[in-house]
Amino acid sequence: MVKTFPGWADIDKDVLRELLNVSQVIASQQGDREGLSIQVAKADGRKCERCWHWEEDVGVNGAHPTLCGRCVLAIRDIVI
């Protein structure tokens, strides 16, 4: 039995990523196909030392070369 998820492609990708506890979500509509198809692959980027998500912005901030941008913002106010 195929279960359909109307409007699943409109779900916020960050919410879906957190819900699935994965580093990256790419959602696309495949023509007129119904149902949900899932492929699993290694995420792009590098692993963040703090959150363990694979992000493409790890190391962008030179002061925190092992952290992703989201973690840099999270620790910004607590680092002395």
The nearer residue to Zn ion, 13 or 35, going by C-beta atoms, is 13
Q: Minimum Å distance from CB 59 to Zn ion?
A: 11
The nearer residue to Zn ion, 17 or 30, going by C-beta atoms, is 17
- Which residues would be at the binding site for Zn ion (CB under 5 A)? 48, 50-51, 68, 71
Q: Minimum Å distance from CB 27 to Zn ion?
A: 22
Per the DSSP assignment, residues forming a β-bridge with 46 are: 55
CA 68/CA 59 separation, integer angstroms: 7
The nearer residue to Zn ion, 35 or 58, going by C-beta atoms, is 58
| DSSP per-residue letters across 25-60 | ------TT--S------PPSSEE-TTT--EETTTT-
Q: Minimum Å distance from CB 58 to Zn ion?
A: 7
- Report, in angstroms and rounded to the nearest whole number, the Rg of the chain calculated over CA atoms: 16
